[in-house]
Copies of this chain bind each other. A is one copy, B any other.
Amino acid sequence: MKGFVVRFEPDGKKLKADSESTVLDLAKEGGIGIRSECGGKGKCGKCRIVVEDQQNLSEVNETEREHLTPQEIGRGYRLACMTTVLGDSLVFIPSESRLSVRRIQIRGMEQPVKLDPNVRKICLVLEKPTLQNPVADDLNILTNLEKLYGLRGLEWEYELVKNLPDTIRDGNWKVTVTLLNDHKVIDLEPGDTTSRNFGFAVDIGTSKIVGYLTNLSSGEVVGFGSLENPQIAFGEDILSRISYAEESLEKRRRLQILAVEGINRIIQMACGEAGVNPSEIYELTVVGNTAMFSLFLGIQTKYLHLAPYVPGVKGPVVVKAQELGININPRASIYALPNIAGYVGADAVGDVLATNIYEMDEMCLLVDVGTNGEVFVGNKEDIVSCSCAAGPAFEGVHIQHGMKAVSGAIERIEISPKTFEVKYLTVDGAKPVGICGSGIIDAVAEMFKCGIISERGKFNDVDTPRMIRVEGKPEFVIAWKEETALGKNITVSLKDIEEVQLAKAAIHTGCVILMEKKAVTEDDIDRVFIAGAFGNYINPESAKFLGLIPDIPTEKITFAGNTALAGAKMALLSREVRKTAQRLSRWIRYVELMAEPNFQREFVKSTLIPYRHLERYPSVKKYLEKHR
């Protein structure tokens, strides 16, 4: 195998290659983020690269010609997944192909908890043994803990036992004991270290990992970290990752290591920020959807996507940091919160904890919008839940000009009903590059509101230069090429609208079927919570005009933000919350939509904008009657 060097710009990274690697493989191996929503199969066309001198690359193939115009090919554009390196080369990754750091909703609504963490530190001043009272060193500690704190039946982490006699003498008979759940001694340090007791709460999202570093003595958040989920290199969506994991034990292990490394990196970020040594972190609580939970823990995922879609392991799972390779105190505990069902994960338990709907008298609707959406209807009496395969449209995937909420993404759109002129806002106010989830929701909702598209999502015959035809098909221009960073029109196509319809239908169907299960109507719903890392940025009016959520007065709607992480943090601070999480994971009823007889019919009705029966959307009906 002949070896040569590929330089990646603007990173300036040089990587060694052989004649069997594609540019995408190479970039993955080198930790360079290139978008590849389809996992490198030539389907998404997102992994565009530019190579000026192509003499050392494979020829442009048919797949590339489908995704790239002859002009682009002339300018050196290629698809990274289709391009094999045959000699030294220089590859440029344009901004639209980069996996850049996204704007991520970290904070979320949360409930105040009584501080009662699973880890506590106690400083003891021991009496020295004498010939008359030759008390054993371990017993010296245990009897003090019993006498002063009423703690009995404690167990030692074996590793501590070995040097226990030295540790006590190093501290001149003053030691600090770290206890897990008032039951297991997980650290023993000379002197008084009681002020150094930290925990970490993590949300492993399909696309991002976010975490809080928390002082367990005060409950205060002292640092945070966030990162693109490194597993993304093996597919943006859950299914491609779990398919990959099933190919071999080694691949399952690789995805696990990626998650662990990602968590290690955000721990490092947060610790650096806060001046905390990772060995001072004694517990990590983790939420994630069932697939992320499984991949992080290295659990077999095969049965997650075979009927009846059972989660192999519902959890909770408790494991020592050392066993997983999490770089905190090696004897620290990892507590992975329990899941509810195959596609309603521990992150959803976090949503319920943080919004507190399980303690409310009011009837609540909770929607976590994401690639995999979760819906809950209920209150303290009973809660039903379901999972909705919305797909990644709201993450910008399968949308022609879709992108994540990184710099340059159009996130807000308003269309004038009279002139059809478009106003938009972008992330960071940068020149537009594409449209992110909230923008695409606005776009379709506004187009419907202005009569540009019909309830079926087809273009009406409207007179505006923004209606253009590309390869004979109609598209609506959101941003003219002169305004954009790429020099190309940013448009919405019929196919884009269809993707949005399918995605919103999935979530809406969940809402409707759960409301039916609970025998409630829109009028009975007292509160609506919209959660999710990007939930804060959705315009509620657009969500209703689109028919993403039921027509419930806006004043009843709360945007809850990243409640999954908030739930993980609550579980970090309170053992009571943890018990509640376990209870909720079993108590919340799960409805398998696929098994519902009216699922198909309801789904079809929900693909219409906002819905087949306009009576169900009185606010939309009223607007249309007034404005059309």
Contact = CB atoms under 8 A, between A and B. Distances in A.
Given A136-B310, A138-B315, 20 more contacts: A129-B310, A131-B308, A131-B594, A131-B595, A132-B595, A136-B311, A136-B313, A136-B339, A136-B342, A137-B310, A138-B313, A158-B297, A158-B318, A161-B297, A162-B298, A162-B300, A165-B299, A165-B303, A165-B310, A165-B313
Interface in A580-628: 586, 590, 592, 594-595
Q: Which of A131, A155, A165, A166 has the most CB of B within 10 A?
A: A165
Interface string A127-167: 00111111111110000000000000001101001111110
A299 B319 CA distance: 25
A317 interface: yes
A131 B319 CA distance: 30
Interface in A90-145: 129-139
A540 to B, nearest CB: 33
A504 interface: no
A156 B319 CA distance: 9
A250 interface: no
A310 B165 CA distance: 9
Nearest to A315: B138
Task: Kindly list the 4 A-B residue pairs having the minimum CB-CB distance in the complex, ordered from nearest.
Answer: A165-B312, A136-B314, A158-B319, A131-B595
A323 B322 CA distance: 12
Interface in A378-422: none
Nearest to A309: B134
B299 A341 contact: no
A403 B162 CA distance: 35
A165 to B, nearest CB: 3
Contacts of A592: 131-132, 134
Q: Which of A310, A339, A590 has the most CB of B within 10 A?
A: A310
A519 interface: no
B300 A163 contact: yes
B299 A164 contact: yes
A312 to B, nearest CB: 3
A302 interface: yes
Contacts of A307: 131
B134 A341 contact: yes
A319 B163 CA distance: 15
A341 B135 CA distance: 8
A311 to B, nearest CB: 5
Given A131-B592, A300-B165, A317-B161, A138 B312 contact: yes
A319 B160 CA distance: 11
Interface of A: 129-139, 155-156, 158, 161-166, 169, 297-300, 302-303, 307-315, 317-320, 323, 339, 341-342, 586, 590, 592, 594-595
A464 B416 CA distance: 132
A139 B323 contact: no
Contacts of A156: 317-318
A590 B136 CA distance: 12
Contacts of A339: 136
Contacts of A136: 310-314, 339, 341-342
Nearest to A340: B136
A138 B338 CA distance: 11
A158 B317 contact: yes
Contacts of A164: 299-300, 312-313
Contacts of A310: 129, 134-137, 165
A134 B594 CA distance: 12
10 contacts: A131-B309, A131-B594, A134-B309, A155-B318, A161-B317, A162-B299, A162-B300, A164-B312, A165-B312, A166-B300
Given A131-B594, A132-B595, A586 B139 contact: yes
Contacts of A163: 300
Q: Which of A162, A164, A299, A314 has the most CB of B within 10 A?
A: A162
Q: Which of A130, A169, A308, A592 has the most CB of B within 10 A?
A: A308
A317 B159 CA distance: 11
A506 B323 CA distance: 49
Nearest to A314: B136
Contact of A308 (B134, B165, B318): B134
Contacts of A165: 299-300, 302-303, 310, 312-313
Contacts of A594: 131
Contacts of A134: 308-310, 341-342, 590, 592
Contacts of A155: 318
A595 B134 CA distance: 11
Nearest to A319: B158
A182 B297 CA distance: 24
